[in-house]
């Protein structure tokens, strides 16, 4: 009877495609919006992802997320080094400094100052130049997206000329020379990322009493990171987080204090509701259109269980196709937007959530139809 169920479904081409369209649209909306949300949340801790070498990040106790900078005294890195189980601890500067562009405009940049000796905390990949080139005078390394975008020179005719190695720029009224181009993950606010040494960053930065943003810590082999964090906290009075915990802290902050989850949540819920409305109603209409035939099958001996199986099979088929098309379209959109500013990240968990959402839509649609068919009196077949 599975064969009959599928032929009943596919025979009504308009309704069949209508249900699939509804489910595909719902699946697309849920998956795509969730992927953008996840992508955006991933960007909130992109700097943590890029800086993968340290095991532990030491910050002021009041810091709530990665960009919530509360400077520390430079001597704190020495205190951290003295904690048992620490292999090395280096200072890192992170701050928003203004770059003056050749056309006179200003652009805020994320300036990262790396430990002068080790250059730990550098970009995850170099496209041109070497990280050690930062040891040259006034040297900075700029991310590959910004050189063509926000930091590009704009000619009088409007054309943009990418920044190149050897070009100079002004960072907070200080000369900076581009010595390398690196690859980084897009930050949440999409500012250019500029790497330099810690000592040079403190020259670029406005004068303050304390200028160190983080102490990056590598644990000795075999150390329990949680215990080491607690030891550092006890000894220094600072906060110490593993990279994973710092990421969670950052995401939680954005979830709690920004409207981002609500905005995306509304769209995802709308996708779900639209899915139920379109697919549910079309599926129900399909059942109503076929009610005489379901009655005929019932009169001819089809049990409620058999009809239930037929409807569930129909729902499962349209659900699978709709889900596949929706997720496929979302992936394609994600792939096409790969080189744009759009944040898009589709982990497997999201595919699972989307699948569950589509399953719920299908189950709800099928349940309404099943109720109608189970309550159907087979005597309907004798009504003309």
| Choice between 99 and 302, CB closer to another protein | 302
**How far is residue 148's CA from residue 142's CA, in Å, rounded to a whole number?**
11
**Nearest distance, CB of residue 275 and another protein, angstroms:** 25
Element spanning 165, H or E: none
CB of 373 to another protein, least distance (A): 13
Burial class of residue 143 (count of CB atoms within 10 Å of its CB; 0-12, 13-18, 19+): buried
User: For 280, which DSSP code?
Assistant: I
In the complex, least distance from residue 299 CB atom to another protein, rounded to whole angstroms: 5
Contact of 190 with 110, CB cutoff 8 Å: no
**CB-nearer residue toward another protein: 134 or 376:** 376
Q: How many Cα atoms sit within 13 Å of 235 on the Cβ side?
A: 19
Contact assessment for residue 148 and residue 160, using Cβ atoms and an 8 Å cutoff: yes
Rounded to the nearest whole angstrom, what is the least distance from the CB of residue 369 to another protein in the complex? 16
Tell me how crowded residue 296 is: count the other CB atoms within 10 A of its CB: 14
Conformation bin of residue 192: beta by default, left when phi > 0, alpha when psi is -120 to 50: beta
The least distance separating another protein from the CB of residue 362, rounded to whole angstroms, comes to 21
- For residue 383, the minimal CB distance to another protein (Å) is 8
Identify which of residues 152 and 299 has a Cβ nearer to another protein in the complex.
299
CA atoms of 250 and 292, how far apart (whole Å): 58
Residue placing its CB nearer to another protein in the complex, 209 or 383: 383
CB nearer to another protein: give 117 or 304. Answer: 304
Nearest to another protein of 61, 371 (CB atom): 371
Q: How far apart are CA 28 and CA 261, in angstroms?
A: 18
Beta carbon nearer to another protein, 305 or 338: 305
CB of 319 to another protein, least distance (A): 20
- With residues binned 3-state (H G I as helix, E B as strand, rest as coil), the percentages for the chain, rounded to 5, are 55, 20, 30
Note the residues at the interface with another protein (CB under 8 A): 1, 3-4, 7-8, 10-12, 292-293, 296-306, 377-379, 381-384
Which pair of tokens denotes residue 364?
């709800």
């Amino acid at each position: 009877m599975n064969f009959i169920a599928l032929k009943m479904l596919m025979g009504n081409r308009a309704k069949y495609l209508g249900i699939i369209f509804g489910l595909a649209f719902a699946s697309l909306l849920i998956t795509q919006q969730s992927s953008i949300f996840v992508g955006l949340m991933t960007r909130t801790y992109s700097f943590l992802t890029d800086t993968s070498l340290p095991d532990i990040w030491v910050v002021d106790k009041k810091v709530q997320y990665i960009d919530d900078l509360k400077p520390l005294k430079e001597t704190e890195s020495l205190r951290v080094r003295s904690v048992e189980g620490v292999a090395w601890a280096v200072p890192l500067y992170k701050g928003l400094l203004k770059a003056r562009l050749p056309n006179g405009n200003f652009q805020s940049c994320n300036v990262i100052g790396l430990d002068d000796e080790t250059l730990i905390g550098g970009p995850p990949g170099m496209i041109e130049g070497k990280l050690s080139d930062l040891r040259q005078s006034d040297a900075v390394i700029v991310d590959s997206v910004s050189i063509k975008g926000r930091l590009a020179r704009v000619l009088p005719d409007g054309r943009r000329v990418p920044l190149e190695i050897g070009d100079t720029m002004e960072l907070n009224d200080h000369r900076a020379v581009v010595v390398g181009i690196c690859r980084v993950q897009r930050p949440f606010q999409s500012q250019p990322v500029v790497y330099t040494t810690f000592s040079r960053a403190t020259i670029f930065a406005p004068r303050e009493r304390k200028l160190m943003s983080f102490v990056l810590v590598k644990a000795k082999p075999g150390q329990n990171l949680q215990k080491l964090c607690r030891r550092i906290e006890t000894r220094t009075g600072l906060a110490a987080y593993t990279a994973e915990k710092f990421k969670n802290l950052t995401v939680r902050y954005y979830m709690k204090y920004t409207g981002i989850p609500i905005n995306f949540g509304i769209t995802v819920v709308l996708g779900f509701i639209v899915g139920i409305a379109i697919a549910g109603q079309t599926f129900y209409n399909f059942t109503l259109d076929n009610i005489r035939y379901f009655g005929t099958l019932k009169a001819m001996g089809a049990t409620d269980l058999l009809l239930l199986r037929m409807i569930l099979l129909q729902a499962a088929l349209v659900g699978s196709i709709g889900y596949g098309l929706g997720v496929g379209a979302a992936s394609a959109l994600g792939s096409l937007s790969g080189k744009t500013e759009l944040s898009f990240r589709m982990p497997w968990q999201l595919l699972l959530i989307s699948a569950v959402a589509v399953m719920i839509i299908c189950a709800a649609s099928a349940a309404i139809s099943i109720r109608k068919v189970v309550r159907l009196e087979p005597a309907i077949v004798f009504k003309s």
